[in-house]
């Protein structure tokens, strides 16, 4: 009996892993599309437009291109490390997402209730940090094994940067650990339940004991640096280093680095939402006056669906005139599903979680296309002389507040 339970748990976990892997890879592909679109609109351009309506099939075309391009291996590379570096980057970045809880409710697979998280372990937060800290090797070894000056310099810069900013990243969440007293991500979210003065959510950003505003600032900046994105993308500064650590990588090995970068972006955004923005908790208290907020998921989907249908029927080509309204109808059906009594409560958690993650991702993209790149010495000075002391100050102030509260 015990054995069958263990086996069915294993099967359920495997199903969850496969589903999440599929979802994450799709999300990564469309995150690239999202970034290109947002960047284009910030700069007054249209962005991808040719492949599918509004460039919606662009990720597919990119993927096919990555697969079909010639996979060149330069002379004099350290073959074992050269091949394992991109693999390491991608695997680690994707496996970190296994620890992320997407909602409070359980789903049913083969009649077994299972939570919306693959690995709900007691030290989830630390495990994610452990995975990101090992992620440095992908960049460092990729740069070293390519046997190229630009790659080596990019890899060195990047590892120095990641080591420096990892400290601030880890320190910035210590305040939250002091307030919550747990490493488990689901429990960290549960501790943020409740509303100050009846309306203001008790998210860690607005924690009544000590608001983690400094912590959020440090986390946000350090996370940008940790994922090697502009304005901290010194690792691949095109104007100086060609492309940095992945200069010598082509075809699918480059795509693996690329996937890894965007997957770790998603992890970091999920963590920001869990740690500071209350994860899956709704920003509205469930009072009778605000009961209508339960219909927000359905409402958002319905508005998006109607907008797609109205816009789609006047699209410039036939494919778009068919595809966009069909997409709109699907969204409308989902909206109807989300307003049904059995589903409406289950959908709240994932909806708010995804909304917050999407918001954080949007800010990441916004920052990338707004701020110019830092100079290397500025980067180091900022990391060690501003960010690190501020994170330390946040720890001291939070511990004082926690002690005073007791």
Partner 1 sequence: MTPQLVIFLVLAAIAIAGAVNVILQRHPIHSAISLISVMIALAGLFLLLESEFIAVVQIIVYAGAIMVLFVFVIMLLNAGAEERTNMSRMARYAGVPLAIFLLIELAYQIGAAALSMTPQPLAEDVTRRLSMLLFQDFVFPFELTSILILIAILGALVLAQRGESVPAKGGPKTIT
Site for partner 1, rule CB under 8 A? 78, 81, 121-123, 126-127, 129-130, 133-134, 136-137, 140-141, 143-144, 152-153, 155-157, 159-160, 163, 166, 183, 376-377, 380-381
Name the CA radius of gyration of the chain, rounded: 22
Of 290, 297, 285, 269, give the one whose Cα is nearest residue 356: 269
Q: Which is nearer to partner 1, 161 or 282 (CB)?
A: 161
112-115 and 200-201 beta bridge pairing? unpaired
Please, what is the minimum distance in Å from the beta carbon of residue 261 to partner 1?
18
Write down the least CB distance from residue 156 to partner 1, Å.
Answer: 6
Helix (H) or strand (E) holding 107: strand 106-109
- Tell me the Ramachandran region of residue 105: left when phi exceeds 0, alpha when psi lies from -120 to 50, beta otherwise: beta
DSSP string, 123-178: THHHHHHHHHHHTHHHHHHHHHHTT-HHHHHHHHHHHHHHHHHHHHHHHHTHHHHH
Instruction: Give, in order, the Cα–Cα distances in Å from 285 to each of 199, 289, 290.
Output: 6, 9, 7
CA separation, residue 257 to residues 16, 254, 262, 352 (Å)? 24, 5, 9, 30
Nearer to partner 1, 45 or 381 (CB): 381
CB of 127 to partner 1, least distance (A): 5
CB of 237 to partner 1, least distance (A): 11
Q: How far is the CB of 154 from partner 1 (least distance, A)?
A: 11
- Locate tokens 């036939």: which residue? 318
Exposure string of 379-390, with b = 16+ CB inside 10 Å and e = fewer, is: bbebbeeebbeb
Minimum distance of partner 1 from residue 160's CB (angstroms): 7
Pair type for strands 200-201 and 195-196: antiparallel
Min separation Cβ 152 and partner 1, Å: 7
Comparing CB distances to partner 1, the nearer of 85 and 361 is 85
Q: Which is nearer to partner 1, 130 or 313 (CB)?
A: 130
Residue closer to partner 1 (CB basis): 152 or 205: 152
- Smaller CB separation from partner 1, 19 or 87: 87
Please count the other Cβ atoms lying within 10 Å of the Cβ belonging to residue 299: 15
CB of 216 to partner 1, least distance (A): 22
Nearer to partner 1, 126 or 327 (CB): 126
How far apart, in whole angstroms, are the C-alpha atoms of residue 128 and residue 278? 18
Q: Where are the alpha helices (DSSP H) in 53-100?
A: 58-68, 79-95
SS3 109: strand
CB nearer partner 1, residue 185 or residue 255: 185
């Amino acid at each position: 009996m015990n054995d069958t339970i263990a086996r069915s748990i294993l099967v359920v976990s495997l199903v969850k892993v496969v589903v999440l892997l599929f979802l994450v890879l799709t999300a990564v592909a469309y995150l690239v599309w999202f970034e290109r679109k947002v960047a284009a609109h910030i700069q007054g351009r249209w962005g991808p437009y040719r492949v599918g309506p509004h460039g919606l099939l662009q990720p597919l075309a990119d993927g096919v291109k990555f697969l079909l391009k010639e996979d060149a291996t330069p002379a004099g590379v350290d073959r074992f490390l050269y091949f394992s570096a991109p693999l390491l980057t991608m695997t680690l970045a994707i496996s970190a997402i296994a620890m992320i809880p997407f909602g409070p409710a359980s789903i049913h697979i083969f009649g077994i209730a299972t939570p919306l998280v693959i690995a709900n372990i007691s030290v989830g937060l630390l495990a994610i940090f452990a995975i990101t800290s090992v992620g440095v090797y992908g960049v460092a070894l990729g740069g070293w094994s390519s046997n190229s000056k630009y790659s080596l310099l990019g890899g060195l810069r990047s590892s120095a940067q990641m080591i420096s900013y990892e400290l601030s990243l880890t320190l910035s969440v210590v305040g939250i650990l002091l307030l919550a007293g747990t490493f488990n991500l689901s429990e960290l979210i549960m501790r943020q339940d409740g509303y100050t003065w009846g309306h203001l959510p008790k998210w860690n950003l607005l924690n009544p004991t000590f608001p983690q505003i400094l912590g959020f600032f440090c986390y946000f900046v350090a996370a940008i640096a940790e994922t090697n994105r502009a304005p901290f993308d010194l690792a691949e500064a095109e104007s100086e280093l060609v492309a940095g650590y992945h200069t010598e990588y082509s075809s699918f090995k480059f795509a693996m680095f690329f996937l890894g970068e965007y997957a770790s972006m998603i992890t970091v955004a999920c963590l920001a939402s869990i740690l500071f923005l209350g994860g899956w908790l709704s920003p509205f208290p469930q009072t009778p006056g605000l009961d209508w907020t339960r219909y927000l998921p359905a409402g958002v989907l319905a508005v998006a669906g109607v907008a797609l249908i109205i816009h789609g029927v006047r699209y410039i080509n036939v494919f778009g005139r068919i595809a966009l309204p069909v997409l709109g109808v699907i969204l409308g059906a989902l909206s109807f599903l989300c307003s049904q009594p059995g589903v409406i409560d289950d959908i709240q958690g994932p909806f708010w979680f995804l909304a917050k993650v999407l918001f954080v991702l949007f800010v990441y993209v916004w920052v990338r296309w707004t701020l110019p790149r830092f100079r290397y010495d500025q980067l180091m000075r900022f990391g060690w002389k501003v960010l690190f002391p501020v994170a330390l100050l946040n720890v001291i102030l939070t511990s004082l507040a926690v002690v005073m509260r007791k």
